[in-house]
Amino acid sequence: MPSITPSLWFNDDLEEAVAFYTSVFPNSAVESLSRFTEACPGPTGEVVSGTFVLDGTRFIGINGGPQFPFTEAVSFTVHCKDQDEVDYYWDRLLDGGEESQCGWLKDRFGLSWQIVPDRLSELLDDPDPARAAAASRAMLGMRKIVIAELEEAVAFA
């Protein structure tokens, strides 16, 4: 069966991005970085592409230039078991980036992430429509998802 590997197009900061991402996620490593040589069209010694693994998921990256920036049309979801994990990934990935809403953020490279506690799915899937709606309304008012605030909203539904 074939495998699917996300491929990310960076402007010119792939090496910095790979170092950053592998420092954030456990079980991560840089597999390879390919550099321009004298025979290539880019600056000799500069990284042109690479492969890396983030917590078991393999990625390919390329320094392709500014013509294709990241947009929110593609994001990566980090499923978190508890608030400590939410806080950890939110704080680290947000460093130098910008908050959005509903658990979304853009990191300093412009890549979008969704930092989502497992508890959110449980509350949104509540068989009681009033409780599910209360969880949804609470989430829509948040930037970073705070489990205690979700549960408080549902308790009053």
Separation of alpha carbons 91 and 41, rounded Å = 38
Contact assessment for residue 147 and residue 155, using Cβ atoms and an 8 Å cutoff: no
User: In this predicted structure, what is the pLDDT of residue 41?
Assistant: 74
Same domain, 82 and 138: yes
Residue that is last in its domain, among 48, 68, 88: 68
% of the chain residues with pLDDT over 70 = 99
Whether the pLDDT of residue 37 is over 90: the answer is no
Q: What is the pTM of this model?
A: 0.93
Instruction: Write out pLDDT tens, residues 108-128.
Output: 999 999 999 999 999 999 999
Structural domain including 60 reads 1-68
Virtual torsion, Cα 141, 88, 63, 61, nearest 10 deg: -100
Whether the pLDDT of residue 49 is over 90: the answer is yes
Same domain, 83 and 151: yes
Q: What is the CATH number of the domain that holds 40?
A: 3.30.720.100
Separation of alpha carbons 104 and 124, rounded Å = 17
Same domain, 74 and 146: yes
The count of structural domains within the chain is 2
Same domain, 56 and 118: no
Provide DSSP, 28-61: -EEEEEEE--TTSSS-TT-EEEEEEEETTEEEEE
